[in-house]
Amino acid sequence: MLDLPDALCRPDAQLDGLRDTARTRVTGPEGARIHWTEWGQGPVLVMLHGAYGSWPHFVRNIAAFAQDHRVLIPDIPGYGLSDMPVGLPSMVGIGRQVAAGLDDLIGVDTPYRLVGFSFGGGVAGRLMVDHRGRQSHVLLAAPAGIASAHVPPMKSIRGRVGEDLADAIAFNLRSIMFARDDTLGPQAMRIQHECASVAQLRVEKVDWGPGLGAAVPGFAGHLMAVWGDADSFTKPGEVPDRPGQIRAWNPAAETHVLPATGHWLQYENAEGFNALLRDLLCR
């Protein structure tokens, strides 16, 4: 095993504590398995991580909601411990696999609450279609599936080792995830390294299909969408347009933009994000 810089493997009480207390489940047949991680008891709250991620995308949110919810987080096919998507990767197919796995875990009639971050926001849109009427509350966090993404500068981590690897990961977090340098630390570095090092699915290979325009219109539950004002995957100047698009599709939707916050908003501004989600779930 290669020696890793301290910043990529430092023990972390919050991250390690959640891993130690998690329950794990697997759904799907051989070759199409989805790995699920869960905490808590109560109404089901499904959280869907972003591309090249896993449950640690919600490391600063899980404990706040596992107090009174059964928090369920799948490794979306192609990421974490899950197998690659079945067939040619498409958002429709990935959503269908996640929906089937969720049915196996909670039953085909059980209502649930839903959070989708970035790529997971696109998957959330498919659940809103495939499980129409089963979500009572949905929060879309910097969701994919509205418009073509702006692609910020990134460094490949392939073939990098030691401090060169750590420097590339730090560059990527500053470029694609965070608005503020003080957010970057060993916990975020470790999460980015551990998730990206096992990711198999390339986002550019995914057929995105109809996007959130097929899911948000007509949604009858409580709907909220949230962005950071410095979201790197939105073209400069277009962040204010995203809430308007959601409200155009569904005038009852509530939208927010968090200040001094980048793409990974539930991490960089966990306090603000958790407050918004708690407010939504109390309705």
Q: Where are the domains of the chain?
A: 12-153+206-281
| pLDDT attached to residue 32 | 97
Question: 181: which residues sit within 8 A by CB, 6+ positions away?
Answer: 174
Residue 2: its pLDDT value, please? 58
pLDDT in the model for residue 1: 41
Residue 171 burial (C-beta neighbours within 10 Å; 0-12, 13-18, 19+): middle
Handedness of CA 207, 75, 262, 239 (dihedral sign): positive
| Residue 56 and residue 38 in contact, taking contact as beta carbons nearer than 8 Å | no
CATH of 12-153+206-281, one of 3.20.20.240, 3.30.2130.30, 3.40.50.1820, 3.40.50.300: 3.40.50.1820
In angstroms, the CA 32 to CA 20 distance is 26
This prediction's pTM: 0.97
Identify the pLDDT of residue 191: 98
Inter-residue contact 275 to 261 (CB < 8 Å): no
229 in Cβ contact with 260 (< 8 Å) = yes
Beta-bridge partner residues of 73: 37
What are 147's two structure tokens?
Answer: 């418009």
Query: Rounded to whole angstroms, what are the CA distances from 105 to 41, 74, 99, 138, 145?
Result: 13, 11, 10, 19, 26
For 221, residues 6+ apart whose C-beta sits below 8 A from its C-beta are: 135, 136, 137, 138
Q: What is the pLDDT, as a whole number, of residue 218?
A: 96
C-alpha distances out from residue 280 to 29, 132, 273, Å: 35, 19, 11
Provide the residue-wise pLDDT of the chain in tens; the chain has 283 residues: 457 899 999 999 999 999 999 999 999 999 999 999 999 999 999 999 999 999 999 999 999 999 999 999 999 999 999 999 999 999 999 999 999 999 999 999 999 999 999 999 999 999 999 999 999 999 999 999 998 888 899 999 989 999 999 999 999 999 999 999 999 999 999 999 999 999 999 999 999 999 999 999 999 999 999 999 999 999 888 898 999 999 999 999 999 999 999 999 999 999 999 999 999 999 9
